Amino acid sequence: MMVTFSRIVRYGWQNFLRNVSLSFSTISIMILAAAVFEGLILFNVVGKQAISSIQEKIDISVYFKSNVPEDTILGIKRTLENVSEVKEVAYVSSEEALKNFKERHAGEESIVRTLDELEANPLSGSLNIKAKDPRQYETIAKYLEGDSIKNSVEKVDYAQNQIVIERLIGLIDTLKNSGISLTLFLAFLAVVVAFNTIRLAIYSNRDQIGIMRVVGASNMFIRGPYILEGILYGAIAALISFCAMIPVIHFLSPYVINFIPEMDLSLYFRDALLSLFGYQLLFCGGLAILSSIIAVRKYLHA
């Protein structure tokens, strides 16, 4: 068995070195396929973060009447936190609301002067509510219309923000569907191109396979060198494409941060370095091995 294995390794390495131009073209195609695969992984990561960022910017605010005590507002907050559709509830006191209002209008002297002349704080406490899913804001808004809460509420801004929320939901759905469609299409394209390239490389050796069958070589002995050759294609392609992606990631990272401040692509790439390379190695190696097995199988049963 060891003798057979060593011969398979030797013949596989010889095939790889003998057909330099064919090996180069096969590896080049697999590099492109691997780059597409890694690009899809990063695209999905960025897309998920973009969707998450959009969702974090969506909320509804509940403004309470000025005579409602803080304890009552905090009690409503605890009640809302137990609602299944609610992800998070933040309390903004009247003092915080006034401070935030002054900061937003710091450059408008007339507004600042008017606030300073007022003896009492005109702003009341409020609750900012985030839902687990943007589609659940309507349900939460209806819950706030219940008798136990509505008598304390001055205003709920859901009606004002409903159109914006619905548009953002549409944008999120579009991003998700487009991402899935693009991923499936490019993955299929990469696999088909790489598969056909390896088939073409093995097709050029069909006469050699025929001779080996005539002299009585086993299927495993015939198939082995091409599987090893495929492993070499995959490993080299994965390594080169991964190294080539490093400067691309560093180049794109500032633009991604400008678009999604929460997403540091370079940091993610460094943290996931080993896993990303592992995925790419598995993709390239698996694709090359499977393609080699299927391509050789045709000539073994010819």
- 3-class secondary-structure state, position 65: coil
The reply to whether 144 and 79 lie within a common domain is yes
Predicted pLDDT of residue 190: 67
Instruction: Give the Cα separation of 211 and 276 in Å (integer).
Output: 41
Q: Does residue 251 lie in a domain region?
A: yes
d(CA 242, CA 237) in angstroms, rounded, equals 8
Question: Residues 295, 238: one domain?
Answer: yes
**Are residue 185 and residue 284 in the same domain, yes or no?**
yes
State the total domains in the chain: 2
Domain identity same for 131 and 274:
no
Digit-coded pLDDT (tens) for 165-209: 777 777 777 767 776 777 677 767 767 776 777 677 667 667 776
User: Same domain for 101 and 48?
Assistant: no
**Is the predicted pLDDT of residue 262 greater than 80, yes or no?**
no
Q: Is 276 part of a structural domain of the chain?
A: yes
pLDDT at position 255 is 84
Per-residue pLDDT tens digits for 200-242: 766 766 777 677 767 776 667 677 777 777 788 888 888 898 8
> What integer is the mean pLDDT of 270-288?
85
Of the pLDDT bands very low, low, confident and very high (cuts 50, 70, 90), residue 291 is confident
Chain segment 123-146, per-residue pLDDT in tens: 778 898 888 888 888 888 888 887
Residue 134 lies in a domain: yes
Residue at 17 is within a domain: yes
pLDDT one-digit tens code per residue, 81-125? 888 888 899 998 888 877 877 777 676 777 667 766 666 767 778
The answer on 126 and 100 residing in a single domain is yes
Query: Which three-class secondary structure state does DSSP give residue 288?
Result: helix
Q: Does a structural domain hold residue 210?
A: yes
Residues 50 and 174 in one domain: yes
Percent of residues, the chain, with pLDDT higher than 70: 75
Of 67, 86, 27, 49, residue with least CA distance to 256: 49
Question: φ and ψ at 7, to 5 degrees?
Answer: -70, -40
Residues 50 and 181 in one domain: yes
Instruction: State residue 45's pLDDT score.
Output: 83
302 pLDDT above the threshold of 60: no
Residues 11-26 have a mean pLDDT of 70
d(CA 232, CA 59): 52
Burial class (CB in 10 A: 0-12, 13-18, 19+), 266: middle
Instruction: Report d(CA 271, CA 252) in Å as an integer.
Output: 17
Domain residues for 118?
Answer: 66-151
Pairing of strands 86-92, 60-64: unpaired
Q: What radius of gyration do the chain's Cα atoms show? A: 31
pLDDT at residue 105, rounded to an integer: 67
In a domain, residue 77? The reply is: yes
Q: What is the CATH number of the domain that holds 107?
A: 3.30.70.3040
Q: What is the pLDDT of residue 160?
A: 65
Residues 174, 48 share a domain: yes
Query: Do residues 36 and 187 make contact, with C-beta atoms less than 8 angstroms apart?
Result: yes
195 lies in the same domain as 253:
yes
Does residue 140 share a domain with residue 33?
no
Of 2, 6, 73, 29, the C-alpha closest to 230 is 29
Whole-number pLDDT of residue 201: 66
The residues with which 129 forms a beta bridge, in sequence order, are: 60, 89
User: Alpha carbon of 290 to those of 37, 120, 143, 236: distances in Å?
Assistant: 17, 76, 55, 17
